[in-house]
Protein backbone atom coordinates (compact mmCIF):
# COMPACT_ATOMS: atom_id res chain seq x y z
CA UNK A 1 0.00 0.00 0.00
CA UNK A 2 2.88 2.31 0.92
CA UNK A 3 4.67 1.55 -2.37
CA UNK A 4 1.42 2.10 -4.22
CA UNK A 5 1.06 5.57 -2.68
CA UNK A 6 4.66 6.37 -3.57
CA UNK A 7 4.03 5.23 -7.12
CA UNK A 8 0.89 7.36 -7.33
CA UNK A 9 2.72 10.38 -5.94
CA UNK A 10 5.60 9.81 -8.37
CA UNK A 11 3.16 9.53 -11.25
CA UNK A 12 1.40 12.75 -10.26
CA UNK A 13 4.70 14.61 -9.91
CA UNK A 14 5.85 13.29 -13.29
CA UNK A 15 2.66 14.46 -14.96
CA UNK A 16 2.94 17.87 -13.29
CA UNK A 17 6.57 18.21 -14.46
CA UNK A 18 5.61 17.11 -17.94
CA UNK A 19 2.79 19.65 -18.09
CA UNK A 20 5.07 22.38 -16.79
CA UNK A 21 7.75 21.48 -19.36
CA UNK A 22 5.14 21.32 -22.11
CA UNK A 23 3.73 24.67 -21.00
CA UNK A 24 7.19 26.25 -21.02
CA UNK A 25 7.87 24.76 -24.44
CA UNK A 26 4.58 26.05 -25.82
CA UNK A 27 5.16 29.48 -24.30
CA UNK A 28 8.59 29.59 -25.91
CA UNK A 29 7.07 28.49 -29.20
CA UNK A 30 4.28 31.06 -28.88
CA UNK A 31 6.78 33.78 -28.02
CA UNK A 32 8.54 33.24 -31.37
CA UNK A 33 5.49 32.45 -33.49
CA UNK A 34 5.32 36.01 -34.80
CA UNK A 35 8.74 35.52 -36.40
CA UNK A 36 7.58 32.63 -38.61
CA UNK A 37 5.39 33.03 -41.68
CA UNK A 38 3.40 29.91 -42.52
CA UNK A 39 1.56 29.05 -45.71
CA UNK A 40 0.31 25.94 -47.46
CA UNK A 41 1.18 24.87 -50.99
CA UNK A 42 -1.59 22.71 -52.42
CA UNK A 43 0.53 21.50 -55.32
CA UNK A 44 3.80 19.69 -54.74
CA UNK A 45 7.09 21.52 -55.24
CA UNK A 46 9.21 19.46 -57.60
CA UNK A 47 12.39 21.53 -57.34
CA UNK A 48 13.97 24.59 -55.75
CA UNK A 49 16.30 25.17 -58.72
CA UNK A 50 15.33 28.53 -60.31
CA UNK A 51 16.18 27.20 -63.78
CA UNK A 52 13.00 25.13 -63.44
CA UNK A 53 10.73 27.77 -61.85
CA UNK A 54 7.94 27.37 -64.37
CA UNK A 55 4.85 27.60 -62.13
CA UNK A 56 3.76 29.50 -58.99
CA UNK A 57 4.34 26.58 -56.62
CA UNK A 58 8.08 26.74 -57.51
CA UNK A 59 8.32 30.49 -58.15
CA UNK A 60 7.04 31.38 -54.67
CA UNK A 61 9.78 29.66 -52.63
CA UNK A 62 12.52 30.43 -55.16
CA UNK A 63 11.52 34.11 -54.93
CA UNK A 64 12.69 33.97 -51.32
CA UNK A 65 15.95 32.16 -52.12
CA UNK A 66 17.32 33.92 -55.21
CA UNK A 67 17.92 37.29 -56.87
CA UNK A 68 18.47 38.38 -60.46
CA UNK A 69 19.79 41.42 -62.26
CA UNK A 70 16.49 43.29 -61.90
CA UNK A 71 13.19 42.94 -60.06
CA UNK A 72 9.64 44.24 -60.47
CA UNK A 73 7.89 46.39 -57.88
CA UNK A 74 4.21 45.98 -57.02
CA UNK A 75 3.26 48.21 -59.98
CA UNK A 76 5.35 46.09 -62.39
CA UNK A 77 8.02 48.74 -62.82
CA UNK A 78 11.52 47.36 -63.41
CA UNK A 79 13.78 48.13 -60.44
CA UNK A 80 17.43 47.38 -59.64
CA UNK A 81 18.28 44.14 -57.87
CA UNK A 82 21.85 42.82 -58.06
CA UNK A 83 22.35 45.22 -60.96
CA UNK A 84 22.36 48.68 -59.38
CA UNK A 85 22.08 50.44 -62.76
CA UNK A 86 22.14 49.76 -66.51
CA UNK A 87 22.32 51.47 -69.87
CA UNK A 88 20.74 50.57 -73.20
CA UNK A 89 22.36 51.38 -76.54
CA UNK A 90 20.63 53.69 -79.03
CA UNK A 91 19.76 50.76 -81.30
CA UNK A 92 18.12 49.02 -78.27
CA UNK A 93 20.29 45.94 -78.77
CA UNK A 94 22.97 46.16 -76.07
CA UNK A 95 22.34 46.25 -72.32
CA UNK A 96 25.22 47.02 -69.95
CA UNK A 97 24.60 46.18 -66.28
CA UNK A 98 26.71 47.45 -63.38
CA UNK A 99 26.47 45.10 -60.39
CA UNK A 100 26.47 45.78 -56.67
CA UNK A 101 29.56 44.64 -54.77
CA UNK A 102 27.83 43.73 -51.51
CA UNK A 103 25.57 40.81 -52.50
CA UNK A 104 26.76 37.55 -50.93
CA UNK A 105 25.69 33.97 -51.50
CA UNK A 106 24.21 31.98 -48.61
CA UNK A 107 26.92 30.33 -46.54
CA UNK A 108 28.16 26.89 -47.61
CA UNK A 109 31.28 24.84 -46.88
CA UNK A 110 32.07 24.60 -50.59
CA UNK A 111 32.95 28.28 -50.57
CA UNK A 112 36.58 27.96 -49.54
CA UNK A 113 36.70 31.22 -47.61
CA UNK A 114 37.00 32.11 -43.95
CA UNK A 115 33.32 33.04 -43.69
CA UNK A 116 32.04 30.29 -46.07
CA UNK A 117 30.57 32.72 -48.59
CA UNK A 118 31.57 35.10 -51.36
CA UNK A 119 30.29 38.04 -53.41
CA UNK A 120 28.09 37.33 -56.45
CA UNK A 121 29.90 38.69 -59.52
CA UNK A 122 29.24 39.09 -63.25
CA UNK A 123 30.90 35.75 -64.03
CA UNK A 124 28.17 34.09 -61.93
CA UNK A 125 25.52 35.53 -64.24
CA UNK A 126 27.46 34.32 -67.27
CA UNK A 127 27.53 30.82 -65.75
CA UNK A 128 23.84 30.98 -64.78
CA UNK A 129 22.83 32.01 -68.30
CA UNK A 130 25.04 29.28 -69.80
CA UNK A 131 23.22 26.81 -67.61
CA UNK A 132 19.84 28.18 -68.64
CA UNK A 133 20.63 27.57 -72.33
CA UNK A 134 22.43 24.23 -71.81
CA UNK A 135 20.51 21.45 -73.57
CA UNK A 136 21.89 19.03 -71.00
CA UNK A 137 20.20 20.96 -68.20
CA UNK A 138 16.96 21.17 -70.22
CA UNK A 139 15.57 24.19 -68.43
CA UNK A 140 11.99 25.08 -69.45
CA UNK A 141 13.12 28.71 -69.20
CA UNK A 142 15.65 28.56 -72.03
CA UNK A 143 13.22 30.48 -74.25
CA UNK A 144 13.84 33.59 -72.13
CA UNK A 145 17.20 34.00 -73.89
CA UNK A 146 16.01 32.99 -77.38
CA UNK A 147 16.43 36.57 -78.66
CA UNK A 148 19.86 36.99 -77.04
CA UNK A 149 22.81 37.05 -79.43
CA UNK A 150 25.48 36.91 -76.72
CA UNK A 151 26.23 37.83 -73.11
CA UNK A 152 29.52 38.31 -71.32
CA UNK A 153 31.10 39.24 -68.00
CA UNK A 154 33.42 42.14 -68.83
CA UNK A 155 34.79 42.14 -65.27
CA UNK A 156 33.46 41.31 -61.80
CA UNK A 157 30.99 44.21 -61.81
CA UNK A 158 30.01 44.58 -65.48
CA UNK A 159 27.70 42.23 -67.39
CA UNK A 160 26.62 42.90 -70.97
CA UNK A 161 23.83 41.37 -73.05
CA UNK A 162 23.35 41.87 -76.79
CA UNK A 163 20.05 41.02 -78.49
CA UNK A 164 19.50 39.71 -82.02
CA UNK A 165 16.79 42.32 -82.52
CA UNK A 166 15.15 44.95 -80.30
CA UNK A 167 12.63 43.65 -77.80
CA UNK A 168 11.01 46.33 -75.60
CA UNK A 169 9.90 43.86 -72.90
CA UNK A 170 13.38 42.41 -72.40
CA UNK A 171 14.11 44.00 -69.00
CA UNK A 172 10.82 42.64 -67.66
CA UNK A 173 11.83 39.22 -69.00
CA UNK A 174 15.05 39.36 -66.96
CA UNK A 175 13.01 39.74 -63.77
CA UNK A 176 11.77 36.14 -64.16
CA UNK A 177 13.07 33.65 -61.62
CA UNK A 178 14.71 31.67 -64.46
CA UNK A 179 17.31 34.46 -64.65
CA UNK A 180 18.44 34.09 -61.04
CA UNK A 181 22.13 33.95 -60.23
CA UNK A 182 23.53 30.65 -58.91
CA UNK A 183 27.10 29.78 -57.84
CA UNK A 184 29.05 27.39 -60.09
CA UNK A 185 30.90 25.60 -57.27
CA UNK A 186 27.69 24.71 -55.42
CA UNK A 187 25.81 23.53 -58.53
CA UNK A 188 28.86 21.48 -59.56
CA UNK A 189 29.12 19.97 -56.09
CA UNK A 190 25.47 18.88 -55.91
CA UNK A 191 24.75 18.20 -59.58
CA UNK A 192 21.10 17.23 -59.99
CA UNK A 193 20.67 17.41 -56.22
CA UNK A 194 20.98 21.20 -56.37
CA UNK A 195 17.18 21.02 -56.71
CA UNK A 196 16.99 20.15 -53.01
CA UNK A 197 20.10 21.99 -51.82
CA UNK A 198 19.63 25.49 -53.21
CA UNK A 199 22.16 28.22 -52.51
CA UNK A 200 21.28 31.72 -53.67
CA UNK A 201 21.50 35.33 -52.52
CA UNK A 202 17.86 35.89 -51.50
CA UNK A 203 16.38 37.19 -48.23
CA UNK A 204 15.88 33.63 -46.96
CA UNK A 205 18.13 30.59 -47.10
CA UNK A 206 17.34 26.91 -47.36
CA UNK A 207 17.04 25.01 -44.05
CA UNK A 208 15.09 21.77 -44.45
CA UNK A 209 12.79 20.06 -46.95
CA UNK A 210 10.82 16.92 -46.22
CA UNK A 211 9.21 16.52 -49.63
CA UNK A 212 5.45 16.44 -49.54
CA UNK A 213 5.43 17.31 -45.83
CA UNK A 214 7.23 20.55 -44.97
CA UNK A 215 9.74 23.06 -46.33
CA UNK A 216 11.57 25.46 -43.99
CA UNK A 217 13.53 28.56 -44.97
CA UNK A 218 15.53 30.69 -42.50
CA UNK A 219 16.44 34.35 -42.47
CA UNK A 220 19.54 35.22 -44.49
CA UNK A 221 21.68 37.24 -42.09
CA UNK A 222 23.85 38.38 -45.04
CA UNK A 223 21.03 39.87 -47.13
CA UNK A 224 21.92 43.17 -48.79
CA UNK A 225 18.60 45.07 -48.73
CA UNK A 226 17.52 47.49 -45.98
CA UNK A 227 14.24 49.30 -45.38
CA UNK A 228 13.79 53.08 -45.41
CA UNK A 229 14.68 53.30 -41.70
CA UNK A 230 17.93 51.42 -42.17
CA UNK A 231 16.70 48.07 -40.81
CA UNK A 232 18.05 44.99 -42.57
CA UNK A 233 15.53 42.87 -44.45
CA UNK A 234 13.88 40.45 -44.02
CA UNK A 235 12.02 41.02 -40.74
CA UNK A 236 10.91 37.40 -40.31
CA UNK A 237 13.14 34.67 -38.90
CA UNK A 238 11.65 31.83 -40.92
CA UNK A 239 9.16 30.69 -43.55
CA UNK A 240 7.39 27.33 -43.08
CA UNK A 241 5.51 25.73 -45.98
CA UNK A 242 3.17 22.74 -45.63
CA UNK A 243 1.75 20.61 -48.45
CA UNK A 244 -1.86 19.79 -47.65
CA UNK A 245 -3.40 18.81 -51.02
CA UNK A 246 -6.98 19.41 -49.89
CA UNK A 247 -8.27 22.99 -49.99
CA UNK A 248 -10.81 22.36 -47.24
CA UNK A 249 -8.04 21.15 -44.91
CA UNK A 250 -6.00 24.22 -45.82
CA UNK A 251 -8.93 26.46 -44.91
CA UNK A 252 -9.43 24.70 -41.56
CA UNK A 253 -5.75 25.26 -40.75
CA UNK A 254 -6.16 28.93 -41.62
CA UNK A 255 -9.34 29.24 -39.52
CA UNK A 256 -7.47 27.72 -36.57
CA UNK A 257 -4.60 30.19 -36.98
CA UNK A 258 -2.04 27.55 -37.98
CA UNK A 259 -1.24 29.18 -41.32
CA UNK A 260 -1.04 32.88 -42.02
CA UNK A 261 -2.77 33.33 -45.33
CA UNK A 262 -4.92 31.90 -48.10
CA UNK A 263 -4.26 32.94 -51.66
CA UNK A 264 -7.30 31.75 -53.53
CA UNK A 265 -11.06 31.56 -53.53
CA UNK A 266 -11.86 27.87 -53.60
CA UNK A 267 -15.45 26.60 -54.02
CA UNK A 268 -15.04 24.44 -50.91
CA UNK A 269 -14.91 27.45 -48.57
CA UNK A 270 -15.84 30.60 -50.53
CA UNK A 271 -19.37 30.74 -49.11
CA UNK A 272 -18.04 30.22 -45.59
CA UNK A 273 -15.76 33.26 -45.91
CA UNK A 274 -17.71 35.53 -48.24
CA UNK A 275 -21.23 36.84 -48.61
CA UNK A 276 -22.91 36.42 -52.03
CA UNK A 277 -21.84 40.00 -52.83
CA UNK A 278 -18.19 39.19 -52.15
CA UNK A 279 -17.78 40.76 -48.70
CA UNK A 280 -16.03 39.11 -45.78
CA UNK A 281 -18.58 37.55 -43.46
CA UNK A 282 -19.05 39.27 -40.11
CA UNK A 283 -17.73 36.41 -37.97
CA UNK A 284 -14.31 36.68 -39.68
CA UNK A 285 -13.98 40.45 -39.79
CA UNK A 286 -12.14 40.70 -36.44
CA UNK A 287 -9.76 37.85 -37.29
CA UNK A 288 -9.08 38.07 -41.01
CA UNK A 289 -8.01 40.74 -43.47
CA UNK A 290 -9.13 40.41 -47.09
CA UNK A 291 -7.54 42.19 -50.03
CA UNK A 292 -8.60 42.15 -53.68
CA UNK A 293 -6.40 43.47 -56.48
CA UNK A 294 -5.96 43.04 -60.25
CA UNK A 295 -4.15 39.93 -61.45
CA UNK A 296 -2.58 39.43 -64.89
CA UNK A 297 -4.36 36.12 -65.34
CA UNK A 298 -6.86 35.16 -68.03
CA UNK A 299 -8.89 32.03 -67.34
CA UNK A 300 -10.11 30.34 -70.52
CA UNK A 301 -11.13 27.17 -72.29
CA UNK A 302 -9.02 26.24 -75.29
CA UNK A 303 -9.77 24.19 -78.41
CA UNK A 304 -6.96 22.03 -79.78
CA UNK A 305 -7.17 22.88 -83.47
CA UNK A 306 -4.83 20.03 -84.37
CA UNK A 307 -7.68 17.65 -83.54
CA UNK A 308 -9.66 15.81 -86.21
CA UNK A 309 -12.87 16.25 -84.22
CA UNK A 310 -15.50 17.93 -86.38
CA UNK A 311 -16.92 20.11 -83.61
CA UNK A 312 -13.50 21.51 -82.67
CA UNK A 313 -12.66 22.29 -86.28
CA UNK A 314 -15.89 24.26 -86.76
CA UNK A 315 -15.52 28.01 -86.25
CA UNK A 316 -19.34 28.20 -86.13
CA UNK A 317 -19.50 25.86 -83.16
CA UNK A 318 -16.61 27.52 -81.33
CA UNK A 319 -18.39 30.86 -81.63
CA UNK A 320 -21.65 29.27 -80.50
CA UNK A 321 -19.95 28.14 -77.29
CA UNK A 322 -18.59 31.67 -76.73
CA UNK A 323 -22.06 33.19 -77.06
CA UNK A 324 -23.82 30.39 -75.18
CA UNK A 325 -23.32 31.31 -71.50
CA UNK A 326 -23.50 34.41 -69.33
CA UNK A 327 -20.04 35.27 -67.96
CA UNK A 328 -21.41 37.99 -65.68
CA UNK A 329 -23.84 35.57 -64.03
CA UNK A 330 -21.02 33.03 -63.73
CA UNK A 331 -18.82 35.50 -61.81
CA UNK A 332 -21.70 36.66 -59.59
CA UNK A 333 -22.94 33.25 -58.50
CA UNK A 334 -19.90 30.99 -58.73
CA UNK A 335 -17.16 33.37 -57.61
CA UNK A 336 -19.10 35.76 -55.35
CA UNK A 337 -18.27 38.66 -57.66
CA UNK A 338 -14.48 38.07 -57.61
CA UNK A 339 -13.01 38.57 -61.09
CA UNK A 340 -14.08 40.41 -64.23
CA UNK A 341 -16.13 38.68 -66.96
CA UNK A 342 -13.92 38.17 -70.03
CA UNK A 343 -16.11 40.01 -72.52
CA UNK A 344 -13.16 41.62 -74.31
CA UNK A 345 -10.14 39.81 -75.71
CA UNK A 346 -7.52 37.45 -74.37
CA UNK A 347 -5.29 40.27 -73.06
CA UNK A 348 -6.21 40.82 -69.38
CA UNK A 349 -6.99 44.03 -67.56
CA UNK A 350 -3.92 46.10 -66.75
CA UNK A 351 -1.91 45.58 -69.94
CA UNK A 352 -1.75 47.76 -73.09
CA UNK A 353 -4.21 46.36 -75.62
CA UNK A 354 -6.96 45.48 -73.15
CA UNK A 355 -10.43 46.97 -73.56
CA UNK A 356 -9.93 48.07 -77.15
CA UNK A 357 -11.95 45.27 -78.71
CA UNK A 358 -15.33 43.64 -78.21
CA UNK A 359 -15.35 40.00 -77.26
CA UNK A 360 -18.34 37.75 -76.62
CA UNK A 361 -21.38 38.83 -74.66
CA UNK A 362 -24.07 36.32 -73.80
CA UNK A 363 -26.52 35.79 -76.67
CA UNK A 364 -28.43 32.53 -76.37
CA UNK A 365 -30.47 33.17 -79.51
CA UNK A 366 -27.37 33.67 -81.65
CA UNK A 367 -25.68 30.65 -80.06
CA UNK A 368 -28.67 28.45 -80.90
CA UNK A 369 -28.73 29.83 -84.46
CA UNK A 370 -25.02 29.04 -84.98
CA UNK A 371 -25.50 25.48 -83.71
CA UNK A 372 -28.40 24.93 -86.09
CA UNK A 373 -26.28 26.26 -88.94
CA UNK A 374 -23.49 23.87 -87.96
CA UNK A 375 -25.93 20.93 -87.98
CA UNK A 376 -27.26 21.89 -91.41
CA UNK A 377 -23.79 22.24 -92.91
CA UNK A 378 -22.27 19.09 -91.40
CA UNK A 379 -25.18 16.71 -90.87
CA UNK A 380 -23.98 16.18 -87.29
CA UNK A 381 -27.32 16.16 -85.48
CA UNK A 382 -25.87 15.66 -81.99
CA UNK A 383 -22.86 17.95 -81.65
CA UNK A 384 -20.80 17.19 -78.55
CA UNK A 385 -17.65 18.58 -76.96
CA UNK A 386 -15.64 17.22 -74.02
CA UNK A 387 -13.86 19.62 -71.64
CA UNK A 388 -10.84 18.47 -69.66
CA UNK A 389 -10.52 20.18 -66.28
CA UNK A 390 -9.37 19.67 -62.69
CA UNK A 391 -11.69 19.58 -59.69
CA UNK A 392 -11.01 23.22 -58.72
CA UNK A 393 -12.87 24.47 -61.80
CA UNK A 394 -15.54 21.78 -61.96
CA UNK A 395 -18.32 24.14 -60.86
CA UNK A 396 -17.55 26.55 -63.71
CA UNK A 397 -17.43 23.75 -66.28
CA UNK A 398 -20.72 22.33 -64.99
CA UNK A 399 -22.33 25.77 -65.28
CA UNK A 400 -21.17 26.06 -68.91
CA UNK A 401 -22.38 22.50 -69.52
CA UNK A 402 -25.90 23.32 -68.30
CA UNK A 403 -26.11 26.57 -70.26
CA UNK A 404 -24.89 25.05 -73.54
CA UNK A 405 -27.31 22.15 -73.30
CA UNK A 406 -30.10 24.76 -73.36
CA UNK A 407 -28.96 25.91 -76.80
CA UNK A 408 -28.50 22.42 -78.24
CA UNK A 409 -24.90 21.43 -77.53
CA UNK A 410 -23.96 18.40 -75.42
CA UNK A 411 -20.97 18.92 -73.14
CA UNK A 412 -19.05 16.15 -71.39
CA UNK A 413 -16.67 16.99 -68.54
CA UNK A 414 -13.53 14.98 -67.89
CA UNK A 415 -12.10 15.69 -64.42
CA UNK A 416 -8.44 14.81 -63.86
CA UNK A 417 -5.52 15.70 -61.57
CA UNK A 418 -3.81 19.03 -62.38
CA UNK A 419 -0.58 17.28 -63.43
CA UNK A 420 -2.46 15.04 -65.87
CA UNK A 421 -4.34 18.03 -67.27
CA UNK A 422 -1.09 19.92 -67.88
CA UNK A 423 0.54 16.94 -69.57
CA UNK A 424 -2.44 16.13 -71.82
CA UNK A 425 -2.91 19.79 -72.71
CA UNK A 426 0.74 20.06 -73.76
CA UNK A 427 0.71 16.87 -75.80
CA UNK A 428 -2.53 17.67 -77.67
CA UNK A 429 -4.48 14.79 -76.14
CA UNK A 430 -7.46 16.96 -75.18
CA UNK A 431 -9.84 18.40 -77.79
CA UNK A 432 -11.04 21.02 -75.33
CA UNK A 433 -9.36 22.01 -72.07
CA UNK A 434 -9.67 24.53 -69.25
CA UNK A 435 -6.53 26.59 -68.73
CA UNK A 436 -5.06 29.78 -67.29
CA UNK A 437 -2.38 32.11 -68.55
CA UNK A 438 -0.59 34.11 -65.86
CA UNK A 439 1.84 36.77 -67.11
CA UNK A 440 5.49 35.72 -67.05
CA UNK A 441 6.41 39.38 -67.60
CA UNK A 442 4.32 42.56 -67.86
CA UNK A 443 3.75 42.85 -71.60
CA UNK A 444 0.78 41.75 -73.71
CA UNK A 445 3.22 40.01 -76.06
CA UNK A 446 3.43 37.29 -73.41
CA UNK A 447 -0.27 36.53 -73.96
CA UNK A 448 -0.24 36.89 -77.72
CA UNK A 449 2.70 34.48 -78.03
CA UNK A 450 0.20 31.70 -77.22
CA UNK A 451 -1.19 31.98 -80.74
CA UNK A 452 2.02 32.39 -82.78
CA UNK A 453 2.34 29.38 -85.09
CA UNK A 454 6.05 28.83 -84.35
CA UNK A 455 5.19 28.31 -80.69
CA UNK A 456 3.26 25.05 -81.08
CA UNK A 457 3.45 22.82 -78.02
CA UNK A 458 5.44 21.01 -76.81
CA UNK A 459 8.13 23.48 -77.97
CA UNK A 460 6.19 26.60 -77.03
CA UNK A 461 3.02 27.85 -75.32
CA UNK A 462 0.64 27.57 -78.31
CA UNK A 463 -1.60 24.90 -76.77
CA UNK A 464 -4.40 25.44 -79.29
CA UNK A 465 -2.12 25.06 -82.36
CA UNK A 466 -3.76 28.15 -83.80
CA UNK A 467 -2.19 29.25 -87.09
CA UNK A 468 -2.96 32.40 -89.06
CA UNK A 469 -0.59 34.09 -91.54
CA UNK A 470 -1.78 37.64 -90.85
CA UNK A 471 -1.52 37.08 -87.10
CA UNK A 472 2.02 35.73 -87.43
CA UNK A 473 3.06 38.73 -89.51
CA UNK A 474 1.65 41.19 -86.96
CA UNK A 475 3.26 39.32 -84.09
CA UNK A 476 6.69 39.39 -85.71
CA UNK A 477 6.43 43.09 -86.53
CA UNK A 478 5.40 43.93 -82.94
CA UNK A 479 8.61 42.46 -81.53
CA UNK A 480 10.74 45.25 -82.94
CA UNK A 481 8.40 48.14 -82.06
CA UNK A 482 9.74 50.39 -79.31
CA UNK A 483 6.86 52.89 -79.53
CA UNK A 484 4.27 51.66 -77.02
CA UNK A 485 1.36 53.36 -78.79
CA UNK A 486 2.17 51.71 -82.11
CA UNK A 487 2.68 48.39 -80.36
CA UNK A 488 -0.68 48.78 -78.61
CA UNK A 489 -2.46 49.15 -81.95
CA UNK A 490 -0.81 45.99 -83.30
CA UNK A 491 -1.69 44.11 -80.11
CA UNK A 492 -5.30 45.16 -80.57
CA UNK A 493 -5.35 43.84 -84.15
CA UNK A 494 -3.91 40.54 -83.03
CA UNK A 495 -6.39 40.14 -80.19
CA UNK A 496 -9.21 40.92 -82.62
CA UNK A 497 -8.08 38.08 -84.89
CA UNK A 498 -8.11 35.68 -81.96
CA UNK A 499 -11.64 36.66 -81.02
CA UNK A 500 -12.88 36.42 -84.61
CA UNK A 501 -11.45 32.92 -85.11
CA UNK A 502 -12.39 31.72 -81.59
CA UNK A 503 -9.68 29.15 -80.80
CA UNK A 504 -10.45 29.88 -77.14
CA UNK A 505 -13.35 30.75 -74.84
CA UNK A 506 -12.24 33.56 -72.49
CA UNK A 507 -13.94 33.06 -69.11
CA UNK A 508 -12.77 35.82 -66.78
CA UNK A 509 -9.89 38.11 -65.92
CA UNK A 510 -8.95 36.98 -62.46
CA UNK A 511 -8.25 39.01 -59.35
CA UNK A 512 -5.81 38.32 -56.51
CA UNK A 513 -7.82 37.52 -53.39
CA UNK A 514 -5.73 37.20 -50.27
CA UNK A 515 -6.96 36.35 -46.79
CA UNK A 516 -4.41 37.00 -44.04
CA UNK A 517 -4.45 36.77 -40.28
CA UNK A 518 -4.93 40.20 -38.69
CA UNK A 519 -1.42 40.24 -37.22
CA UNK A 520 0.25 40.03 -40.65
CA UNK A 521 1.45 43.22 -42.36
CA UNK A 522 3.64 44.05 -45.35
CA UNK A 523 2.22 41.34 -47.61
CA UNK A 524 1.42 43.64 -50.51
CA UNK A 525 -0.44 42.39 -53.60
CA UNK A 526 1.01 42.56 -57.09
CA UNK A 527 -0.52 41.94 -60.54
CA UNK A 528 1.55 38.77 -61.05
CA UNK A 529 0.44 37.34 -57.69
CA UNK A 530 4.02 36.66 -56.65
CA UNK A 531 4.76 36.00 -53.00
CA UNK A 532 7.32 38.52 -51.69
CA UNK A 533 8.06 38.04 -47.99
CA UNK A 534 11.11 40.21 -47.34
CA UNK A 535 8.98 43.06 -45.91
CA UNK A 536 6.37 40.94 -44.13
CA UNK A 537 5.97 41.27 -40.36
CA UNK A 538 3.78 39.58 -37.76
CA UNK A 539 2.85 41.16 -34.45
CA UNK A 540 2.62 38.90 -31.38
CA UNK A 541 -0.91 37.75 -30.57
Contact indicator for 430, 388 with CB cutoff of 8 Å: yes
- pLDDT at position 26 is 45
CA distance to 248, 264, 272, 274, 276, per residue, from 269 (Å): 7, 10, 5, 9, 13
pLDDT at 375 over 90: yes
Contact indicator for 205, 65 with CB cutoff of 8 Å: yes
Beta-bridge partners for 208: 216
Contact indicator for 374, 312 with CB cutoff of 8 Å: no
Task: Give the percent of the chain with pLDDT over 70.
Answer: 94
pLDDT at 419 over 90: no
Q: Which of 12-16, 337-341, 478-482 is least confident?
A: 12-16
Contact indicator for 63, 531 with CB cutoff of 8 Å: yes
Mean pLDDT in the chain? 91
Task: Give the percent of the chain with pLDDT over 90.
Answer: 77
Q: State mean pLDDT over 258-281.
A: 89
Q: State mean pLDDT over 83-98.
A: 96
Contact indicator for 255, 288 with CB cutoff of 8 Å: no
Residue 500: count of CB within 10 angstroms of its CB? 11
pTM here? 0.83
Confidence of residue 3 (pLDDT cuts 50, 70, 90): very low
Domains delineated in the chain = 50-239 (3.40.190.10), 294-512 (3.10.105.10)
- pLDDT at position 13 is 52
Contact indicator for 176, 191 with CB cutoff of 8 Å: no
- pLDDT at position 414 is 97
Confidence of residue 440 (pLDDT cuts 50, 70, 90): confident
Q: State mean pLDDT over 416-427.
A: 92
Beta-bridge partners for 151: 161
Distance, CA of 396 to CA of 392 (rounded, Å): 9
Q: State mean pLDDT over 36-45.
A: 92
Look at 263 and 20; give whichever has higher pLDDT. 263
Q: In what order do the strands lie in the sheet with 238-242?
A: 36-40, 238-242, 214-219, 204-210
- pLDDT at position 243 is 95
Confidence of residue 20 (pLDDT cuts 50, 70, 90): low
Instruction: Quickly list H helices, 165-210.
Output: 170-174, 184-190
- pLDDT at position 266 is 85
Confidence of residue 412 (pLDDT cuts 50, 70, 90): very high
Which of left, alpha, beta for 360 (phi over 0: left; psi -120 to 50: alpha)?
beta
The end-to-end CA distance of the chain, in Å, is 49
In 351-503, where do the E strands start and end? 384-389, 410-415, 432-438
Give the model confidence (pLDDT) of 117-171 as tens digits.
999 999 999 999 999 999 999 999 998 999 999 999 999 999 999 999 988 889 9
Q: State mean pLDDT over 235-240.
A: 97
Which of left, alpha, beta for 333 (phi over 0: left; psi -120 to 50: alpha)?
alpha
Q: State mean pLDDT over 82-106.
A: 96
pLDDT at 177 over 50: yes
- pLDDT at position 8 is 52
Distance, CA of 156 to CA of 100 (rounded, Å): 10
pLDDT at 25 over 50: no
Confidence of residue 43 (pLDDT cuts 50, 70, 90): confident
Look at 509 and 525; give whichever has higher pLDDT. 509
pLDDT at 459 over 90: no
Q: State mean pLDDT over 100-112.
A: 97
Amino acid sequence: MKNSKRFTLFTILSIVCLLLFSSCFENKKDARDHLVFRYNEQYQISTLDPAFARNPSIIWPTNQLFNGLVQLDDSLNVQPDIAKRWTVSEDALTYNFTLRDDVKFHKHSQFKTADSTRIAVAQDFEYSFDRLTDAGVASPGSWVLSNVKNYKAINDSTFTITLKKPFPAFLGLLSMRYCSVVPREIVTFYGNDFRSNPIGTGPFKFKRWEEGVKLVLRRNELYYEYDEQGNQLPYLEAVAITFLPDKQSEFLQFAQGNIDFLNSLDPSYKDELLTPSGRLRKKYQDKVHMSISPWLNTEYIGFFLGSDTQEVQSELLRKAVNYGFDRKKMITYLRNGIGEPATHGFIPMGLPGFDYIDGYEYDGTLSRKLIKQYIQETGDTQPTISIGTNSQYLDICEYIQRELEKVGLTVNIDVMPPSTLRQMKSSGDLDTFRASWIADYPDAENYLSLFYSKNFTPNGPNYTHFKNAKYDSLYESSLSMTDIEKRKLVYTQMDSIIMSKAPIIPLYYDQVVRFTQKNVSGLTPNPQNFLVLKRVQKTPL
